[in-house]
Amino acid sequence: MASSSKSSPWLALLIVCALLACTANGYDPLSAGYYDRSCPSVQHVVRSVMEWNIAAKPSMAPAVLRLFFHDCFVNGCDASVLLDRASDLESDKDAEVNESLTGFDVIDEIKSHLERACPGTVSCADVLALASRDAVALLGGPAWAVPLGRKDSRAANKSAAEAYLPGPHDNVTTLIKAFEVHSLDERDMVALSGAHTVGKAHCHHYRARVYGYDGEGGAGEIDPAFAEMLRGTCGAGGDDAEAPFDEQSPMRFDNAYYKDLVARRGLLTSDQALYGCGGPVDRLVEMYSEDGEAFARDFAIAMVKMGNIPPPAGMSLEVRLDCKRINNY
């Protein structure tokens, strides 16, 4: 199997460095060295807390990575997904699509350490971006230089979370449009979908697919033995039952996810939608299934691009002292 982990991390870094001039908040340019003077320990603190948490509970790695996706796809990478509901503030956490999110405690722990080391300096949005990179690297995936300098929003948008986050039953056309909104192309979409090489999904997200009433033909096809196995997990545990996205290596960040798609063993309808309809998306899946280094390289590039999705112009931004609530002035 071609490895997507550590065979050429320098290659990913060289390619990603070309993207560091982008901006993520519409105001300040991002830079990997943004905190070199104001908080030189930021990278060490984030990595140390992530290492400890993932060693204790490996599922925190895909959980943190999922937080970053759900944050950036709603009003840009502004840490709005971390905000708790308040009397005068709605919360993205209350959106149905976000009800199963976890990993908030890990981000809060990192932020707490950073507030002691560098008070009022490192944004929660940057914490989430760095923690996501380390989540991938600690599971054997690529590492990349993270552009920093994001700010945190003073608002959330529950309705936008419901409207704009890709769903488990989406077809490939819907997925392409969801990514295009954020200037992410088909290559970015297929590479970023590879985040599903780690983690699990609940039965109610894949029940329709494995029981055969969530699409017909093409990308709706499913390996019969795989469907039978998953019907067993749903039957035994109901909607709360879980299955790994990648049954081969569920906690190793590699290219096995794409091998599963070629074998018609994608867990969600939106996973299998990437393969089976022909065209450039199919060819990308086939390439990544055969070339783990190409996947690692393109995933790193796409993560930087996604991390540069800006908040809307004119949004009120700050560096939150507590990721769960806005600052009181």
Instruction: Assign residue 195 the CATH number of its domain.
Output: 1.10.420.10
Binding residue positions for heme b: 196
CA angle 12, 19, 49 (to 5 degrees): 60
Structural domains counted in the chain: 2
294 and 180 belong to one structural domain: yes
Domain extent for 139: 41-165+308-318
Residue in the structure block whose two tokens are 């699990």: 200
How far apart, in whole angstroms, are the C-alpha atoms of residue 285 and residue 278? 10
Same domain, 117 and 204: no
Do 50 and 126 lie in one domain? The reply is yes
Rounded average pLDDT over 306-329: 93
**What is the Cα–Cα distance from 183 to 171, expressed in whole angstroms?**
19
Residue 244 lies in a domain: yes
Which residues in 236-265 are b (16+ Cβ under 10 Å) and which e?
A: eeeeebebbbbeebbbbbbbbbbbbbbebb
Instruction: Please indicate, yes or no, if residue 54 is contained in any of the structural domains.
Output: yes
> Residue 11 carries which side chain, given as an amino acid letter?
L
Binned at pLDDT 50, 70 and 90, residue 141 comes out as very high
Return the pLDDT at 164. 87
| Alpha carbon of residue 105 to chain centroid | 17
State whether 94 and 219 are in the same domain. no
Which pLDDT value is given to residue 70?
96
User: What are 22-79's pLDDT values in tens digits?
Assistant: 444 445 689 999 999 999 999 999 999 999 999 999 999 999 999 999 999 999 999 9
Q: Would the pLDDT of 16 be above 80? A: no
Residue 327 lies in a domain: no
Domain for residue 160, yes or no? yes
Residues 190 and 246 in one domain: yes
Residue 13 maps to a domain: no
Angle at 16 between CA 198 and CA 108, to 5 degrees: 50
Rounded Cα distance, 49 and 173, in Å: 39
In this predicted model, what pLDDT tens digit does every residue of 82-111 receive, in sequence order? 999 988 888 999 998 999 999 999 999 999
CA distance 242 to 219: 22
In a domain, 36, yes or no: no
| Residues annotated in a binding site for Ca(2+) | 71, 74, 76, 78, 80, 197, 246, 254
Same domain, 46 and 156: yes
Task: Answer whether 318's CB lies under 8 Å from 326's CB.
Answer: yes
| Same structural domain, 301 and 312 | no
In a domain, 138, yes or no: yes
Residue 125 pLDDT > 70, yes or no?
Answer: yes
pLDDT of residue 278: 86
> Which residues are annotated as catalytic?
70
Question: Are 194 and 255 a contacting pair, CB within 8 Å?
Answer: yes
The confidence band for 233, taking pLDDT boundaries of 50, 70 and 90, is confident
Binding site residue list for substrate: 166
Q: How far apart are CA 144 and CA 137, in angstroms?
A: 9
**Do 187 and 126 share a structural domain?**
no
* Residue numbering of the annotated binding site: 71, 74, 76, 78, 80, 166, 196-197, 246, 254
Contact 164, 178 (CB under 8 A): yes
Whether residue 230 is contained in a domain is answered as yes
196, 278: one domain: yes
The model's pTM: 0.90
Q: Please indicate, yes or no, whether residues 101 and 213 belong to a single structural domain of this protein.
A: no
Listing DSSP states for 193-229 in one string gives HGGGGS-EEEHHHHHHHHTT-S--SGGG---HHHHHH
Residues 161 and 215 in one domain: no
Question: 47 and 158, same structural domain?
Answer: yes
Query: Which CATH number does the domain housing residue 122 bear?
Result: 1.10.520.10
